[in-house]
């Protein structure tokens, strides 16, 4: 961490923690952030040139985002001295390096899955598994429809037993809240065991 030559603390500032909302492109991450956030989702963008990417790397990015990678996030005030931030991760997982500290220090993650194309969330699941970051899977039904039971989705995604798979609707505040609570319950259960 930093040197001690300057003030590195502000006692009036709240503690902050974060949870990541991940998943494939267009799976409803920003919608979910917006559903539970107390503020309208905020967006911050990084220019891609910083990383010295080759032109080839721009293939497949939406044209309107050709020069930046966006990160959407929201905020939930847990108490006067504790604030939870929700970060919707960039849909294209290979750009996560733009935010080196994004996954670092996260309580855990929600991987959103679109039932119509679950494969678009494989990379996110793989990312958290390899880094040992706890996560739950939220199956976001298109228009709230859920044609498959959670166990079918679990099999299709090869998600391990200890990871919860929940049906949800990213547009509904209560539904998103319940997914976050499921993640916290999972984290608490793990913490109690250790």
Partner 1 sequence: MGGGDSAGRLVRPFALTGGRTRPSRADFTLIATVTAVDPQPVAAAPVQPEYTRILRLCAEPLAVAELAARLDLPVSVVVILLCDLLEAGRITVRPPRLVSRTTPDLDLLKKVRDGLGRL
15 binds partner 1 (CB under 8 A): yes
Phi and psi based region of residue 120 (left: phi greater than 0; alpha: psi -120 to 50; beta: remaining): alpha
In the complex, minimum distance from the CB of residue 152 to partner 1, in angstroms, rounded to a whole number: 28
Distance CA 179, CA 176 (A): 5
In the complex, minimum distance from the CB of residue 108 to partner 1, in angstroms, rounded to a whole number: 9
**9, 98 Cβ separation under 8 angstroms:** no
Answer for which of 53, 61, 83, 156 binds partner 1 (CB under 8 A) is 83
Report residue 143 as tokens.
Answer: 């228009």
Alpha helices in 37-172 (DSSP H): 122-131, 150-157
Answer for which of 26, 55, 62, 67 binds partner 1 (CB under 8 A) is 67
Over its C-alpha atoms, the chain yields an Rg (Å, rounded) of 17
Helix (H) / strand (E) element for 181: namely helix 173-193
In the complex, minimum distance from the CB of residue 186 to partner 1, in angstroms, rounded to a whole number: 10
166 binds partner 1 (CB under 8 A): no
Residues within the interface to partner 1 (CB under 8 A): 1-3, 6-10, 12-18, 36, 42-47, 49-50, 67-68, 71, 73, 75-79, 82-85, 87, 99, 101-102, 104-107, 132, 173, 177, 180-181, 184-185, 187-188, 190-192, 194
């Amino acid at each position: 961490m930093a040197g001690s030559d300057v003030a590195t603390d502000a006692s009036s500032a709240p503690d902050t923690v974060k949870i990541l909302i991940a998943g494939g492109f267009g799976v409803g991450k920003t919608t979910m952030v917006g559903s539970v956030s107390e503020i309208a989702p905020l967006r911050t963008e990084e220019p891609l040139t910083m990383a010295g990417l080759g032109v080839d790397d721009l293939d497949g990015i939406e044209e309107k985002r050709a020069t930046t990678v966006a990160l959407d996030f929201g905020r939930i005030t847990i108490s006067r001295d504790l604030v939870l931030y929700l970060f919707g991760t960039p849909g294209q997982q290979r750009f996560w390096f733009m935010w080196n500290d994004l996954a670092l220090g996260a309580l855990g993650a929600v991987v959103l899955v679109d039932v119509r194309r679950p494969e678009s969330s494989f990379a996110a699941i793989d990312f958290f598994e390899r880094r040992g970051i706890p996560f739950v899977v939220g199956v976001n039904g298109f228009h709230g429809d859920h044609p498959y039971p959670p166990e079918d989705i679990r099999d299709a995604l090869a998600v391990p037993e200890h990871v919860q798979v929940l049906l949800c609707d990213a547009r509904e505040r209560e539904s998103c809240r319940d997914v976050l609570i499921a993640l916290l319950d999972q984290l608490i259960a793990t913490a109690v065991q250790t």
